[in-house]
Amino acid sequence: MLFFPPAKINIGLRILRKRSDGYHDLELSFFKVPSLCDILEITPDTRDRFICDGLEIPGSDQDNLVLKARTLIDRKLNGKRPPCCIHLLKKIPMQSGLGGGSADAAYTLTGLNREFSLGISSEDICRMASRIGSDCAFFTQKEACIGYGKGDRLVPIPACRKQFRLLLVVPPFGISTAEAYHLAEPMEGRTELKHLLEHEISSWKDSIENDFEKTLFPRFPQLAAIKQSLYEAGAIYASLSGSGTAIFGIFKNDADLNSLTLPPSCFTHQSHIALP
């Protein structure tokens, strides 16, 4: 059975406060980008196997979130899951803030559940996903969402019907989540993101921000330059996504890549996106 874990972008990301458990309380939105996806194949086999192709993933296989998801399923079933081969074709850039690893993990949970008719409820799948990573739970949902807490307490965003063009730009380097949060500067007392998203997109530039830009742009000026280039090319809104290096621009029409000034070897991807 084939699955297509998609990328995501965050339109607005607020770091509110440091928690006693070491995490941060957040307020952020999640939107899927289905046209940019990894490919996950789960098939019955005589023994458990994991194959990973495509973009190289740092670390060992045992660190891969796909295998962590499989382990959670096994614990849930007390080891009674049938053996399978999981084949991952990696296409979403890593450490980019596009959520590829989290999507892979969430789709492994739902994929194993479907392939072997395990009967695990969608609520349990969502809870298991949140144990793997803060944004994994979003990828078990159908709609765009606002995330609270660690990002795993989700409220659907209704009526995402307006279609825009989306351009993703990812420079040839990544930023680890741990590094980004180490530099984070929490701040409370702002207008709720859900209200700002209800305004016209033309107003987002002055009201919706990703808090990681304040600390990452001075350290990585290439990111600020990419964002500025997207605005110069006609974007009505541009931002960093998540805590990684991906910068996205939202356009009313197709973006002209020839008008962009980008660092060498950037990954780019154009798509449609539905917004409130």
DSSP track, 138-170: GGG-SS-EEEEETTTEEEE-----EEEEEEEEE
Residues 210, 111 share a domain: no
Whole domain around residue 173: which residue ranges? 158-275
Domain count for the chain, please give it. 2
Residues 196, 60 share a domain: no
Residues 177, 121 share a domain: no
Last residue of a domain, one of 98, 126, 154: 154
113-162 confidence digits (pLDDT tens): 999 999 999 999 999 999 999 899 999 999 999 999 999 999 999 888 99
Residues 245, 134 share a domain: no
Predicted local distance difference test score (pLDDT) of residue 48:
97
Residues 167, 130 share a domain: no
Give me the CATH number covering residue 137. Answer: 3.30.230.10
31-56 confidence digits (pLDDT tens): 999 999 999 999 999 999 999 999 99
Q: Which of the pair, 222 or 160, is modelled with greater confidence?
A: 222
Last residue of a domain, one of 125, 154, 183: 154
**Is the pLDDT score of 261 beyond 90?**
no
**Is the pLDDT score of 220 beyond 80?**
yes
Average pLDDT over residues 215-231: 96
Residues 114, 51 share a domain: yes
181-205 confidence digits (pLDDT tens): 988 899 999 999 999 999 999 999 9
| Helices then strands, each counted (H, E), the chain | 7, 13
Predicted local distance difference test score (pLDDT) of residue 59:
79
Q: If we measure between CA atoms, which residue out of 91, 97, 95 comes closest to residue 31?
A: 97
Residues 168, 114 share a domain: no
Burial class (CB in 10 A: 0-12, 13-18, 19+), 210: buried
Give me the CATH number covering residue 182. Answer: 3.30.70.890
Residues 185, 126 share a domain: no
Last residue of a domain, one of 127, 154, 181: 154
- Report the catalytic residues: 8, 135
Predicted local distance difference test score (pLDDT) of residue 164:
96
